[in-house]
Amino acid sequence: MEFPKFLLILILLPFYQVLSLNEYETFHPYQTSYTLDPQAMIIQACNNIQNQALCLSHIQSNLDNHGHVRDPHSVLRAAIRNSLNQAKLAIQSITKFSTLSASSRDQMAIEDCQELLDFSVTELAWSLGEMRKIRTGLKNFHYEGNLKAWLSAALSNQDTCLEGFEGTDRHLENFIKGSLAQVTQLISNVLTLYVQLHSLPFKSPRNETIRYENPKYPEWMTNGDKEMLTSSPSKMHVDAVVALDGSGHYRSIAQAIYEAPSYSSRRYVIYVKRGIYHENVDMKKKKTNIMLVGDGIGATVITGNRNFMQGWTTFRTATVAVSGKGFIARDITFRNTAGPKNFQGVALRVDSDQSAFFRCSMEGYQDTLYAHSLRQFYRECNIYGTIDFIFGNGAAVLQNCKIYTREPLPLQKVTITAQGRKSPDQSTGFSIQDSYVYATRPTYLGRPWKMYSRTVYMNTYMSGMVQPRGWLEWYGNFALNSLWYGEYRNYGPGSSLSGRVKWPGYHIIKDPSTASFFTVQHFIDGMSWLPATGVQFTAGLTN
């Protein structure tokens, strides 16, 4: 995977002033910085595009139409704008295929593609807006973290679209794959350019153990947000109440979400009273800053049984799906009862950037928690499952969580994570910190779903049923050189490192600065958004 990039650098060497090599994938997690010639950037933005002349023309036209000086940032903006325009065209192209769908599964996969490409359009538009802020010269690394998170998400949506055609005759998939190829490559090129152009010089704070677990709140946290952390639902301000017995505003969570304001800039709180709610809830991206508050794990339960064997795509099996930015859930159980025999059955799917889950339970079997994209935080949550039951390509930190295994089908191997990072430039991965793996049957910590899969366990208890080798192959030698798996100061009978895999991509982390990269503060830029959620968190390492 690295060889074509090496060739590209050789081809464009007259345009590059390479200051240092990007080594963080193997040994060090921090990015390094490049200086690029604008003309070389324009060429690289169209790298591997089928009609390269047209691509170059579009970017040149974008630069001319917006009156930009030929500097690296203006070229990057033009490349993002070109990717955005091509993503919009791809949506139009895919819409035409809906009339050709031969089955309900085909039709559902096309609908998935439309929504996922719409995610990409939104994320590219956010990125353009962030570039305008960076253009002003404001050196705020939160802006840079945002941009990389959004470009990383935009790159993966097209893969999820194509995965939806599993179980079909693949006829339509082949057509749609052609429509998506250029968009995917353009976004990949933009992300690579951005990583080369920008560095994120995170520095470990003097005191890594920064906590917001007591009444010392940041100045910018509103009184309402403080109240959310400290109050019981009966004492806090809520905007809507859901109750099965009719004592609230709604009997259905989905109806409460439907009538919640769209694109809300303030927190909209929905209190869901105790009860078992048999419904599937899909919070679209326009439903921003929604907070669901229940009466506790096992008391407020949202349950469904959608699964792959019923004809649903994995993306659509979710009992609850959240896409609007800034979602928060507290004291709720998300459940999928499909069982192991029905294969994929998601309890919770998350595409909400800067989302947080506090004292929640995700209960399923295969593919329980779909951390699909963007930045996510889980605190004091329980996750149950059998196969790949924490999966996706979000940037997620799980802190003080409990992970429980369940009985799989015969011959299946229990595997906790299947992280789906497809590019070394993506800022995605799973960090499981200060948590507990309660394995009751032979269990593996993870396997590489995609080429650059990234998962770490830090300061986490592991029961004796975690297998000595720790990790499992996906198939053959796939991704064993390019993945990034790590363990840092774990404990318990299953934490011994002596029998662990010897893959090139597996790391026994000894340096605290490397481990620190995977903390809330650094990995998901948590200090810029988590304090305002009112959810407890530890910013750095606990030891």
Structure tokens at 170: 């693949």
Give the number of other CB atoms < 10 A from CB of residue 214.
7
Contact present, 543 and 237 (Cβ < 8 Å): no
Residue identified by tokens 């253009």 is: 135
Structure tokens at 102: 């031969």
| Residues contacting 233, CB < 8 A, separation 6+ | 271, 293, 294, 295, 331
Structure tokens at 33: 């910085």
Structure tokens at 165: 């055609």
Between CA 189 and CA 44 the distance in angstroms is: 7
Secondary structure (DSSP) of 242-288:
E-TTS-SSBS-HHHHHHTSPSS-SS-EEEEE-SEEEE--EEE-TT--
- Per-residue burial over 424-455, b if 16 or more Cβ lie within 10 Å, else e, is bbbbbbbbbbbbbbbbeeebbbbbbbbbbbbb
Secondary structure (DSSP) of 285-351:
TT--SEEEE-S-TTTEEEEE---GGGT--GGG--SEEE-STT-EEES-EEEE---GGG-B--SEEE-
Catalytic residue numbers, as ranges: 388
Give which of 380, 437, 392 is closest to 414, Cα–Cα: 437
